Amino acid sequence: MAETILEIMKKDHLHLHELMDGIEKESIKGVANLEDSFDNFKFEVENHMLIEEKAIFSYLEEDSEAGRISINRLLEDHELLRELINELELELQNSSEVDLSNLKDAWDAHENFEENSFYDRLDEELDTGKKQEIIERIKEFR
């Protein structure tokens, strides 16, 4: 079976969860280099969202009204996630602890929508050629 967009993005989501879990564990232990782990997470999550925006959303935008509505919601989510991440980054400058619960809640809702109402539908609705083109674009951005 050919690779699906959902599978590729799910792998990324899993990786980002591991990074968030790692930060939480380090925060509980009081690890000194929490900022390094957080910087790394911020870099990876920004990279993931940029790939989605540049390789997928912008490519689909003109396709359909329904697509545009979903994409607007996803872009709003990304802005909220960026704000939450920036706030946490500021907090970390004055503290060696961090509480990711708000970020994780927002992330989980976003991820749930992407995996269960967006990428799964893309895989079903796009023809093989267009799907392959998007997968190529995702790989180019890595």
Instruction: Give the Cα separation of 61 and 72 in Å (integer).
Output: 9
CB 97, min distance to Fe ion, A: 27
Site for Fe ion in 111-140 (CB under 5 A): 114
CB 81, min distance to Fe ion, A: 8
Q: How far is CA 57 from the centre of its chain?
A: 13
Using CB under 5 A, pick the residue from 37, 38, 52, 98 that binds Fe ion: 52
CB 65, min distance to Fe ion, A: 20
Number of chain residues interacting with Fe ion (CB under 5 A): 2
Q: Which residues bind to Fe ion, rule: CB under 5 A?
A: 52, 114
